Amino acid sequence: MILRHFTLLFIILFAAVSLGGCLSPLPPNGDPGGVPGGSRASLTGTVQDARSGLKLWSGQVTLTRAGSSGYSTSLAGGAFEFPNVPPGTYTLTINALFYKQLQKQVVITGSVSVAEQLTPIFTEAELDLLARLVHAEAKGESYEGQVAVAASVLNRLRHPDYPNTLQGVIYQVVVSGGKSYYQYEPVLNGTIKQPASQTAKDAVADALAGWDPSLGATGFFAPAKVGRSSWVWSRPATVTIGNHRFFK
């Protein structure tokens, strides 16, 4: 009977030691990421323009928290995904061109989904000004052509050779050879003062959200109305849409 008790005690002690050798403590920061079989979670989300509701074409999304190197991904089709992250509380940061940065705390346990909206950096008056320019310049063009005109104006904001405000770009006057030249005909002839159509407003919203049919152009002109002696013909063309040739 005594031998049987010793044998049973030996088996229990051996099992305890064996199991204890198989268990690994969590890292000091509590992140189970380096532990095989450690718990994982995921975060998916969508990002829209708070003004128009359109999905944003591009942007950068990051997840950070204390003691972690963080995670980064890009927007694709207005959506993002972090498929395999340790559970915890993170700072979610979303950046997109021409939009105010969004930053918030998110608790990720299991599969979490969020729907976020970014606010444009432009005022309603600025966007209306751009829409009136699009209407005056391209009201007879296709919708794609109107979006391209809006996008080309926004592209100038990113270029160091042009002013860094919408008003500055649209109303810019260049002095050359003792003469002053408006960058856009509607500013010169006053048609920019006409109210914008809903189509032009929609085109501005699409360009703001990231659609660029102009393929990065910073200007455009109507070949049928511009003589071959004009400097614009020397600029590299990006695409022709309707009656407009777009260039960089």
**Both ends of the chain: CA-CA distance in Å?**
95
Q: Residue 61: helix, strand or coil by DSSP?
A: strand
Q: What is the pLDDT of residue 212?
A: 98
Q: 42: which strand partners?
A: 111
Tokens of 91: 């700072």
Q: What is the pLDDT of residue 68?
A: 78
Angle at 153 between CA 75 and CA 192, to 5 degrees: 135
Pairing of strands 41-49, 111-118: parallel
Does the domain at 124-247 match CATH 1.10.10.2520? Answer given as yes
* Distance between CA atoms of residues 70 and 68, nearest Å: 5
Mean pLDDT rounded to a whole number for the chain: 88
* Distance between CA atoms of residues 158 and 123, nearest Å: 18
Question: Are residues 223 and 241 in contact, defined by beta-carbon separation less than 8 angstroms?
Answer: no
Q: What is the pLDDT of residue 28?
A: 32
pLDDT (tens digit per residue) in 6-25: 444 344 334 443 434 333 33
Instruction: Using pLDDT thresholds of 50, 70 and 90, give the confidence band for residue 37.
Output: very low
Q: Which residues of 202-224 are buried (b: 16+ CB within 10 A; e: fewer)?
A: bbbbbbbbbbbbbeebbbbbeee
Residue 148 one-letter amino acid: A
pLDDT (tens digit per residue) in 141-198: 999 999 999 999 999 999 999 999 999 999 999 988 888 999 999 999 999 999 999 9
Architecture of domain 35-118 in this structure: Sandwich (2.60)
DSSP one-letter code for 178: T
Strands (E), the chain: 41-49, 60-64, 71-74, 79-85, 88-95, 102-108, 111-118, 173-176, 179-182, 219-221, 237-241, 244-247
Tokens of 32: 């189970």
pTM for the model stands at 0.83
* Distance between CA atoms of residues 166 and 211, nearest Å: 18
Q: Where are the domains of the chain?
A: 35-118, 124-247
Q: What is the pLDDT of residue 66?
A: 86
Instruction: Using pLDDT thresholds of 50, 70 and 90, give the confidence band for residue 140.
Output: very high
Instruction: Using pLDDT thresholds of 50, 70 and 90, give the confidence band for residue 32.
Output: very low
